Structure 1
Amino acid sequence: MHSSSFFFFLFFFFFPIISQSRLTLDFYKQSCPQFHQIIQDTVTSKQISSPTTAAATIRLFLHDCLLPNGCDASLLLSSTPFSTAERDNDINLSLPGDAFDLVVRIKTALELACPNTVSCSDILAASTRNLLVMLGGPNFPVFLGRRDGTVSTSASVTNHLPKPAMAMSQIIDIFTQRGFTVEEFVALTGAHTVGLTHCSEIFNNKSNNNIHNDNGYNPRFAEALEKACGNYKNDPTLSVFNDIMTPGKFDNMYFQNLPKGLGVLKSDHGLYSDNRTKPFVDRFGKDENEFFRVFAKSMQKLSFLGVKTGRRGEIRRRCDQIN
């Protein structure tokens, strides 16, 4: 290979890395040395007082990063009289308040320690990883130096986030359009090994007998879901665990549940009945280390999506509004 063509090969091979290289592992080493300690202390106390925080934050992070504008904390912005924000789109209304509260707590502590220095998007990325590890999930390096976005519109959410009632092809498309392989998509769905699902998402406002006609459900499990969710039309807050076996632990039990008909959502069963995704469900169910390896790699990949650095974004003083 000629030296000039070798140079171009190197350039194109490393270009994605170069473009992310403005993010570094020790971005706040000088400007905010307390960064990691404040994140860890706040995450720990919040998770102990509200054990649903971890799953809520992982979901918030996924919903923020998958949107076209990427990991820029635009999902944290509140609506204004002139514009409805991403967080007020129907699909995001079920995002639990614990995740938003956690970010506010961390931001408040960091603003006292090092004002106008740490972005809300970095707070979300770092706290998600820390919570994952607290639940027993895999650790991975979080690169820092993101800026916060200044645009958030509800209209930009449509068809960019997976919904339980979507066909599997549609859900796969959402992830492949963002650069994920089917294997990585299935691994990311393994986040359902923790957290809750609202009953209204399971029964989808149709007749409660619906899930009995769905061959994906274990019949006794379908009965138990109907009992647990019996009053969901009068009480929209009714929820069930995504993983009934080890609901508070990040493990591969979600994948072990699917072949037994113990998936909560229609899309969970879709993963096991679709030939494109089933082999990965089987592999991750048999080998937790393999699931953790692919999940960690996919989360790190997710954390780089649409990252803004330098003048392309700002450091918000408050995470729910632009400066």
Structure 2
Amino acid sequence: MASSSFHAPTLVSILVLLLGNSRAQLTPDFYEDSCPDLLNIVQAQVEIAVQNEKRMGASLLRLFFHDCFVNGCDGSILLDDTPTLIGEKNAAPNANSVRGFEVIDVIKAAVEEACPGVVSCADILAITAKDSVVQLGGPDWEVKLGRRDAMTASQAAANSSIPPPTSNLDQLISKYAAQGLSAQDMVALSGAHTIGQARCTTFRNHIYQETNIDSFFANTRKPNCPGTPGQGDNNLAPLDIQTPTLFDNSYFVNLVAMKGLLHSDQELFNGGSTDAIVQNYSQNPDAFIQDFITAMIKMGDINPLTGSDGEIRTNCRLVN
């Protein structure tokens, strides 16, 4: 009798541990039975959005990044402010900058029509990020799924966790390390700046005050970005001057030529520890693409809510 009473809790503990690990495991076929047409639905809507506006592809990719860096990939960035919840949309890295929420609304509505109450907004962000890359000529990969949605958000965490464009190399490495991402992951993910645009206010100081920038390149940016703060702050410039709507390795070619638009961009190739990675990606696009895929999958694994944690939001902007 003593023997059986000793072993029973041990077996239960082992089963709980195994079930917990199983539940936490994201997998590409998570919705294979519950929403079999999910990937096609999302792809179709992303294709429409990017065809309507090329820049939207970069914006949707950035949404996923800004979501995952704040308490994990849980869809918290999508929550609107309410009388009882302060969301992340008005945090310093996001206000007047992060965009694409209406596209996510459209995708979510299409998914809900096909599979009501099944697919999380967090997973929709992950799929949308991949499809946006594909639509702009980048690689395809299997997205791991099974995330659930947060029921809260953190503006404070958004302010502290997302690296600003003023970051130096040590700060960038530290911010990514805090998310379990290596310096190589950081450089590969920064390659997302091969698409999209930035506001004048984020690169003004770099083009006017700093010396680690090609002077001709800096001068080409100045007419659309006056040196006086407050003037033209929201004017846009491409992050990749060569192919701003094509997902390729030109971003790294630009960095080697000292044509990084943001201070934080050029920090990756500025006599520091990541110079060799940038140099390799500038010469070997296949290496960049492979490492980008690896880093995106790794980023998608940051602290997902699974099992019975969180919820499946009906409206991505609001807790159920």
**TM-score, scaled to structure 1:** 0.89
Distance apart, 1:168 and its partner CA: 1.7
Q: Distance in 1 between matches of 2:159 and 2:288?
A: 29
The equivalent residue for 1:216 is 212
Residue 279 of structure 1 pairs with residue 282 of structure 2: no
Compared CA separation, residues 64 and 19, structure 1 to 2 (3 A): farther
After superposition, the CA RMSD in angstroms is: 2.0
Given residue 285 of structure 1, which amino acid in structure 2 is its aligned partner? S
How many residue pairs get aligned? The number is 302
The equivalent residue for 1:176 is 177
The equivalent residue for 2:103 is 102
Match of 1:236, SS state, is: coil
Distance apart, 1:155 and its partner CA: 1.2
Gaps of 5+ in 2: 1-13
Equivalent pair of 1:150/1:313 in contact (CA under 8 Å): yes
1:257 pairs with 232, 254, 257, which one?
A: 254
Residue 291 of structure 1 pairs with residue 292 of structure 2: no
The equivalent residue for 1:304 is 301
Any idea what the Cα deviations from partners look like across 1:35-94, whole Å, max 9, x if unmatched?
111111111111101211110011110110012x20000000011123321111111114
Compared CA separation, residues 276 and 236, structure 1 to 2 (3 A): same
Equivalent pair of 2:225/2:231 in contact (CA under 8 Å): no
The equivalent residue for 2:78 is 76
Match of 1:88, SS state, is: coil
Q: Distance in 2 between matches of 1:20 and 1:55?
A: 32
Match of 1:159, SS state, is: helix
Equivalent pair of 1:136/1:250 in contact (CA under 8 Å): yes
Equivalent pair of 1:212/1:219 in contact (CA under 8 Å): no
Any idea what the Cα deviations from partners look like across 1:242-275, whole Å, max 9, x if unmatched?
0010111000000001121211011112111142
Equivalent pair of 2:169/2:272 in contact (CA under 8 Å): no
Over the matched positions of the two proteins, sequence identity in percent amounts to 35
Gaps of 5+ in 1: 1-10, 205-209
2:314 pairs with 296, 314, 317, which one?
A: 317
The equivalent residue for 1:193 is 194
Match runs of 1:112-191 below 5 Å: 112-191=113-192
Distance apart, 1:21 and its partner CA: 5.8
Match of 1:92, SS state, is: coil
Distance apart, 1:185 and its partner CA: 0.7
Q: Distance in 1 between matches of 2:98 and 2:89?
A: 11
**TM-score, scaled to structure 2:** 0.89
Q: Distance in 2 between matches of 1:314 and 1:21?
A: 14
Match of 1:197, SS state, is: strand
> Greater CA deviation, 153-162 or 45-54?
153-162
Given residue 161 of structure 1, which amino acid in structure 2 is its aligned partner? I
Any idea what the Cα deviations from partners look like across 1:97-127, whole Å, max 9, x if unmatched?
3x21121011011111111111001111011
Match of 1:111, SS state, is: helix
Any idea what the Cα deviations from partners look like across 1:183-222, whole Å, max 9, x if unmatched?
1111111111100000011115xxxxx6344221111111
The equivalent residue for 1:270 is 267
